[in-house]
Amino acid sequence: MTTRYHLELSFSVSNYGTTEDLEAHLDCVADSLAELHGVVDPDMGANLAEAIVTFTMSVDAEAQPEALQVAQGVIRTAIHAAAGCTAGWEGQFQDGQQVVTPSELTPV
């Protein structure tokens, strides 16, 4: 049975130069994220001073691990579409925070 899951994924970023460089890149990532399919209500916020980015979205999946995999793929695609690099990607997610919860308020 497919369930809608809400996800919040936060992690630190590096190698983007100045805070202004990071902000400009994240603007491009946000634009790319908004154009992608397979997610519901994607959003992104950042603490630029600490270089921490948080993505939120909902996805339909059979189980939580699948929902997390879909969300990570969407985020990675948005970063690539904005000409970003995801080298060391797996380590960044391991060090970050990932919250996946069923969304009981949204029928699928």
What would the pLDDT profile of 29-58 be if each residue is shown by its tens digit?
Answer: 999 999 998 899 999 999 999 989 999 999
Residue 107 in domain: no
Residue 47 in domain: yes
Residue 37 in domain: yes
* C-alpha 78: how far from chain center: 8
pTM: 0.86
Residue 73 in domain: yes
Residue 84 in domain: yes
Fill in the DSSP letter of residue 4: E
Q: When comparing pLDDT for 96 and 20, which is higher?
A: 20
CA distances to 18, 24, 48, 65, 108 from 21, in Å: 5, 5, 10, 33, 39
Number of domains in the chain: 1
| pLDDT over threshold 60, residue 22 | yes
Residue 56 in domain: yes
| CATH number of the CATH domain containing 69 | 3.30.70.100
> Confidence band (pLDDT; 50, 70, 90) for 107?
very low
Residue 44 in domain: yes
Residue 53 in domain: yes
CB 53 within 8 A of CB 9: no
Average model confidence (pLDDT) across the chain: 87
| pLDDT over threshold 80, residue 89 | no
Query: Encoding tokens for residue 106?
Result: 């949204």
> Confidence band (pLDDT; 50, 70, 90) for 90?
low
Residue span of the structural domain in which 71 resides: 3-102
| pLDDT over threshold 70, residue 105 | no
What is the pLDDT, as a whole number, of residue 5?
A: 96
